[in-house]
Structure 1
């Protein structure tokens, strides 16, 4: 507590009305340079892994299919999602806590919600794609044509903006009466921001709780239903080879869905009194940092087409270098 008090005193004289102090992992301040380097490396891996998936998918015509089209969108959302969180987190590690304007905090919260919901919708669309491919193969080509895939992708990006705009409109009506607002977290999350308000937050909470099922719970239930149908369809396949091939087409997506929703529900559906602030921050790290880090590895290691396309791309690059050296 003494460290937190001294940190607040240090920035109090430099803070104008309505600023927000993000404490981050202030209890681990002695390790902040180690944490800075560690998360900088993780951020680099997240960017390079997701960019590699996008590059390989776009450059290889064999991967120009609905599944990989949505995978590119998912990788893009992961890049935006982590870029909204990790750079500010790195700044917190360096300065042992940073101040941001209240509107800057609202902005980070808005983009956090947008990209979080976008990923949820994309995972839902990808489960629908796998459902059609395995359960309705005769209708797959006629249904998942390029135009329809574009419409689904646009919906995954536009609807989150509408949902978060509604929530933000009610959030901006709240009063924040303190000169400095302290958030014991590494980013501006919804619940900590509401805790700073000196006005009634019941309306905002009600609006968010009404919108939450549409953005997370309903998509999750839809994914469960599609995978129940997928598993039933796979079990009806006679050959063992056919079963393995069918399951391999959706195993990567299922792994990502499990890691994404388990960590998300642990943070937002378990009552806050059920775990400490430190545990809440650790759980938040799982879906803001670790899940985006693991996703490229899950898709590249578990997906036969991705591995083949990567090997072909590196082989072509090597052949091109040999050809250039030979011409010289």
Structure 2
């Protein structure tokens, strides 16, 4: 994905979010805080799930992979954004730009598919609880994660190969804070219709198909919950999927707003706000949503802390 003969551009300039030094400093501090919370939250979630044997279940298997994806694609975007906010060096190499775009698309598409896998897990847990451990086996979990990664790989590879055919005619200023498809398409001086169609089909098929799976499973879950006689039973059943439903709503809402529209409707300010939300904010929110609303995670954290405290006391003796 290095420099191509079909373009005179060897690097790009990421304009970023603001030209004001004062606003840039405020955003730097805010995004740095968000990124630190993202790293601590997602890395902590992975560590807790790994250390506590009571969380070695399919639900938390998927959740640990979700945390890894959030941590990864926040790291792909945020450090460069932070650099651009406080330095005058806003350049990114042609290969670096396309690499960032490739990894981001791979991670985002994989997360779409992983969220639909998590919805299926919740569907089986609520609608067929007696056979849950048989249906959602370790083999199935690994297969679903692998399939999600393969879809992400196909989406990112085909998209970047299509983007790599564009000409830029010495114009290298990207009006965005990272290398996304829409601002790069807007920058190109060639006909981008074919590439737009490819991106729309890939993004549309991944987002819409996974969203359909999520919607169908949650309609079935809601139907099963309404059939439960006791109020306590309904509340307990709903609580098992409420966190996932909230995370899905936030993620898909911002992704649909950004990608399932023609490139001609690209608007710098509006799209940047949406992009900040799903690249920087959502990776921070997911571990908070799944931990603060989940008693099992809270209890697991207490067990891990108590275990470490007991170990230290034993060594001190």
**TM-score when scaled to structure 1?**
0.90
* Residue aligned with 1:163, SS: helix
Work out whether residues 18 and 177 of structure 1, in 8 Å CA contact, stay in contact via their aligned partners in 2. Answer: no
Quote the offset at 1:276 in angstroms. 4.3
CA RMSD of aligned residues (A): 1.7
Match of 2:50 in 1: 58
Q: Show structure 1 runs of 5+ residues with no match.
A: 1-15
2:260 to 250, 258, 269: 269
1: distance between equivalents of 2:202 and 2:260? 14
Distance 1:41 1:113, change over 3 A: same
Compute the TM-score of the two structures, normalised by the length of structure 2.
0.93
1:44 aligns with 2:32: no
Q: CA deviation at 1:271?
A: 6.0
Establish whether residue 20 from structure 1 lines up as the match of residue 12 from structure 2.
yes
How many Å separate the matches in 1 of 2:304 and 2:21?
43
Report what 1:108 is aligned to: 100
How far did residue 272 of structure 1 move?
Answer: 6.6
Q: Given the alignment of the two structures, is residue 280 of structure 1 paired with residue 274 of structure 2, yes or no? A: no
Does residue 225 (structure 1) correspond to residue 235 (structure 2)? The answer is no
**Is 1:33 aligned to residue 33 of structure 2?**
no
CA contact (8 A) 1:32 1:93 kept: yes
> Counterparts in 2 of 1:110-259, with a 5 A limit?
110-178=102-170, 180-259=171-250
Aligned length: 310
1:35 deviates by: 2.0
Instruction: Mark the runs of 5 or more structure 2 residues left unpaired by the alignment.
Output: 1-7
How far 1:275 moved relative to its partner?
A: 7.7
Asked whether the 8 Å contact 2:45–2:67 carries over to 1, the reply is yes
Query: SS at 1:26's partner residue?
Result: coil
CA distance in structure 2 between the partners assigned to 1:270 and 1:201 by the alignment:
14
